[in-house]
Chain A
Amino acid sequence: MTEYVVLSAILFTIGCVGVLTRRNALVVFMCVELMLNACNLAFVAFARQHGNLDGQIAAFFVMVVAAAEVVIGLAIIMTIFRTRRSASVDDASLLKY
């Protein structure tokens, strides 16, 4: 049980560091997906720990939300790329000025 949660924590941390260090919007997005997956792993592990299926339902809903989020996020990345010809998160900084 502990090992599953530890693995989930490690994957979540790697996703976190990826979001903070990578500059390509697509890779940043992939790291967000990695964090969501790590949470799902913890959910399913805890469902088995407690002997009811609520954790699996939660993981299922996370997957649904992740799918919707990916569709919108990738559409936004494409729109930004179309106007600015760049997929780097540093280039979309107009709100700063």
Chain B
Amino acid sequence: MTFWILAPIMVAAALGILFVRKAVHAALLLAVVMISIAFLYAVMDAPFLFAVQIIVYTGAILMLFLFVMMLIGVDASDSKVETIRGQRVMATVVGLVFGLVLVLGISQVTFGTVVGLDEANTGGNVPAIANILFSKYVFAFEATSALLITAVLGAMVLAHRERLTPKATQASLAAQRLRDYAEHGKHPGPLPSPGVYARHNAVDTPALLPDGTAAESSVSRVLAARGTVRSAPALADDIVDVRRQIGDPSTMPETSGKSGAPANTEEDEK
């Protein structure tokens, strides 16, 4: 029963990996497939692999994928240019034929009765796996440790970057700032902070200079490039709304202002 619920989900998610444009969506669909596979393991009397699948695959490997995606840019989507003409169509056709051959071949085979793992799992699945792992497969297990050490070393060597220029110290940065000031007249101090107003102190509202113009350096250049910078004079129009919200009597009709105030005090007394 679990299988027939999960199998369509898995196939749909796996097909989604082929068609989504963004790599992040592919990673999320892969997570769906992997968690579904973990549940199939649980159904097939493999609780140890169920835990390992979730911890190692969904927890570690997919997070690694997402980390790398974050480093090299989320929008690194596919190029539509084909280096080999018709390669995509050919690959799809060959893949379909391959899948068809596999599925037809498997459906021809009679597997016989399923023995089941009840006997093998008598002392629990994890002790049973440990029994085989540390007796029959102990050399493979030891070789795994060498493999993991090699992988760690390889990752360190590949991710390491040699420093080509000396590291900038605080003293050299200060000297550079003053040199910029002397040569180009660039302000040596920190940038001005964004404007702080009665209702708006967000980073997208520029501070005002003494003559009333906006200080452009007080807002991040990213926001300016996106065009989401708000102007302080435009925000001044909000003041009517604010007055209405806080119930300022100067903007309210006379009658409601007078009748509203005693009603509130009565409620407070109760």
Contacts and interface: CB of A to CB of B under 8 A. Distances in A.
B69 interface: yes
Interface string A56-89: 1101110111111111101111110110001110
B41 A44 contact: yes
Contacts of A44: 40-41, 44, 46, 49
B208 to A, nearest CB: 40
Contacts of A7: 3, 7, 10-11
A71 B11 contact: no
Given A13-B98, A53-B132, A78 B81 contact: no
Contact of B92 (A17, A34, A50, A63): A17
B159 interface: yes
B44 A45 contact: yes
B235 interface: no
Contacts of A71: 64, 151-152, 154-155
B30 A16 contact: no
Interface in A14-70: 14-18, 20-24, 26-27, 29-31, 33-34, 37, 40-41, 44-45, 47-54, 56-57, 59-61, 63-70
B245 to A, nearest CB: 49
B101 to A, nearest CB: 9
A21 B91 contact: yes
B240 interface: no
B167 to A, nearest CB: 19
B263 interface: no
17 contacts: A6-B107, A11-B14, A16-B95, A18-B18, A21-B92, A34-B30, A44-B40, A44-B41, A49-B114, A51-B117, A53-B121, A60-B48, A61-B137, A66-B57, A66-B61, A67-B56, A77-B68
> Which 8 pairs across A and B sit closest by C-beta, in order of nearness?
A51-B115, A13-B99, A20-B91, A17-B95, A68-B151, A75-B158, A9-B102, A14-B14
Interface of B: 3, 7, 10-11, 14-15, 17-18, 23, 26-27, 30, 33-34, 37, 40-41, 44-46, 48-49, 52-53, 56-57, 60-61, 64-65, 68-69, 71-73, 76-79, 81, 83, 87-88, 91-92, 94-96, 98-99, 102-103, 106-107, 109, 111-112, 114-117, 119-121, 125, 128-129, 132-133, 136-137, 140, 144, 147-148, 150-152, 154-155, 158-159, 161
Interface of A: 1-7, 9-18, 20-24, 26-27, 29-31, 33-34, 37, 40-41, 44-45, 47-54, 56-57, 59-61, 63-72, 74-79, 81-82, 86-88, 90, 93
